[in-house]
Amino acid sequence: MNLNNGYNNQKDSDQNTLESFKILISNIKYLKDKTWGCPWQKIQSHKSLIPFLNEESSELIDAIYEKNANNICEELGDLLLQIMLHSEIGFEEKQFELKDVIENLNKKIINRHPYIFKKKEKVSLKKSQEIWRNIKNSENKTFYKKSSISRQLNSKVKSLPATIGSNQITNTVKEYGFKWESSKKIFDKLDEEICELKEAIKSKKAHEIKDEFGDVYFTLISLSNFLKINPESSLQKTNKKFLDRFAIMEDQVGDNIKKQNPKDFQRLWEVAKKTNYGLELELLNALMIQVDYFTENREKIYESRPVFPDTAGLTTVVSSNTGKVKSNGFDVAIDYNKSFSI
């Protein structure tokens, strides 16, 4: 293998990237041009673009979870557009320009990785994280004292999405020994917070309900951290599972979905929760093997109560929606189809 060819290919790729980036800069200038630019783009500000920045970030995260390389590439481009627009707005308002954004980033990368750009020495993963954290803390130009963990955390998480912030808080304080000893204790705390939320709901005081709901949510994040589960990833999967089941419900009733009553929705949901996995295999254009696995969870089934105390004084059979059934199994079908000439 000729190493020079690999170097030249990389060099050519970098050059092409630079040329594409120059075109992108020019396109952004055209978009924001005061005379011929896009009317919508010309009136945007840092603040007005926040919803679009959030949206593009979320779409990129979705693409990453879906492991779709084409979508990831496309969404990265959309996110880059947001960065370019904010940089151009900064230039128009004489705050900063794209050059400043890139220079600050390069400075940060070099400064936080001295073992790469200065000393050229190999370090462990743990050591690299320690170096990065110490340098980042030293760069903090706020008034906070270095020894104040809470103040440092407050400055970090105030601009983050709440779920990510809670997860970071839990991770950080855990390093200082403030952590849960077992999942049971977290569940006990969760039960306590849920009871307090129920009481707040009874009081009908909006601010108390909001506070107690936050406590329940934070405790759940702590549980996910203890179980080493990414809460964002877990919720993404649940969102997809819900939408898949709702799609099944829509398939069942079509345009009449808005006409369903609560009992109809309960029945449709039970059908949707029945999951099937199928596999078809054809061999030699003659043998067809089909395997289906199904699992079904049904709840609130109407049934007679098998045990009811005589002291209740009732002479009739008491029934209620208390039944639960979980079933699963396999269906296997084998077909052989072959024509013979005589």
> Look-up: residue for tokens 């080493």?
228
Which among 93, 83, 103, 84 is positioned nearest to 30, based on CA atoms?
A: 84
pLDDT digits (tens, 9 = 90+) for 48-84: 998 899 889 888 988 888 888 999 999 999 999 999 9
Count how many Cα atoms sit within 13 Å of the Cα of residue 98 in the half-sphere of its side chain: 14
- Paired tokens of 277: 């996995």
Mean pLDDT of 129-158: 72
Instruction: Name the pLDDT band for 325 (thresholds 50, 70, 90).
Output: low
Q: What is the pLDDT of residue 1?
A: 42
- 230 plus 158 within the same structural domain: yes
Q: Residue 87: pLDDT above 50?
A: yes
Least confident of 71-85, 100-114, 298-312: 298-312
- Tell me whether residue 286 is in a domain: yes
Instruction: Name the pLDDT band for 172 (thresholds 50, 70, 90).
Output: confident
- Tell me whether residue 264 is in a domain: no
- Tell me whether residue 32 is in a domain: yes
Q: What is the pLDDT of residue 245?
A: 85
Which among 228, 233, 229, 231 is positioned nearest to 64, based on CA atoms?
A: 233
Type of residue found at 162:
A
Mean pLDDT of 246-259: 86
Q: What is the pLDDT of residue 144?
A: 47
Cα–Cα distance measured from residue 283 to residue 275, given in angstroms and rounded to the nearest whole number: 27
- Tell me whether residue 157 is in a domain: yes
Mapped onto helix, strand or coil, the DSSP state of residue 252 is helix
- Tell me whether residue 104 is in a domain: no
Percent above pLDDT 90 for the chain:
36
Instruction: Name the pLDDT band for 299 (thresholds 50, 70, 90).
Output: low
H or E stretch including 91?
Answer: helix 69-92
Q: What is the pLDDT of residue 280?
A: 54
- Paired tokens of 68: 């779709």
Mean pLDDT of 297-307: 56
Mean pLDDT for the chain overall:
81
Last residue of a domain, one of 40, 68, 96: 96
- Tell me whether residue 67 is in a domain: yes
- Tell me whether residue 190 is in a domain: yes
Provide the domain count of the chain: 3
> Look-up: residue for tokens 């991770």?
171
Domain that holds residue 300: 274-336
- Tell me whether residue 168 is in a domain: yes
Q: Residue 187: pLDDT above 60?
A: yes
Last residue of a domain, one of 219, 236, 253: 236
- What are the backbone dihedrals phi and psi of residue 127, each rounded to the nearest 5 degrees, phi first? -65, -40
- 153 plus 70 within the same structural domain: no
Mean pLDDT of 35-60: 91
Q: Residue 342: pLDDT above 50?
A: no
Q: Residue 89: pLDDT above 60?
A: yes
- 19 plus 83 within the same structural domain: yes
How far, CA to CA in Å, does 251 sit from each of 70, 93, 128, 228, 262? 29, 52, 52, 37, 18
Q: Residue 209: pLDDT above 60?
A: yes
Instruction: Name the pLDDT band for 159 (thresholds 50, 70, 90).
Output: confident
Mapped onto helix, strand or coil, the DSSP state of residue 325 is strand
- 87 plus 25 within the same structural domain: yes
Spatial contact of 278 and 289, defined as CB atoms under 8 Å apart: no
Type of residue found at 286:
A
Q: The domain that contains 49 carries what CATH number?
A: 1.10.287.1080
Least confident of 61-65, 137-141, 170-174, 185-189: 137-141
Percent above pLDDT 70 for the chain:
75
Q: What is the pLDDT of residue 304?
A: 57
DSSP tally for the chain: helices H, then strands E: 13, 3
Cα–Cα distance measured from residue 197 to residue 153, given in angstroms and rounded to the nearest whole number: 27
Q: What is the DSSP track for 198-219?
A: HHHHHHT-HHHHHHHHHHHHHH
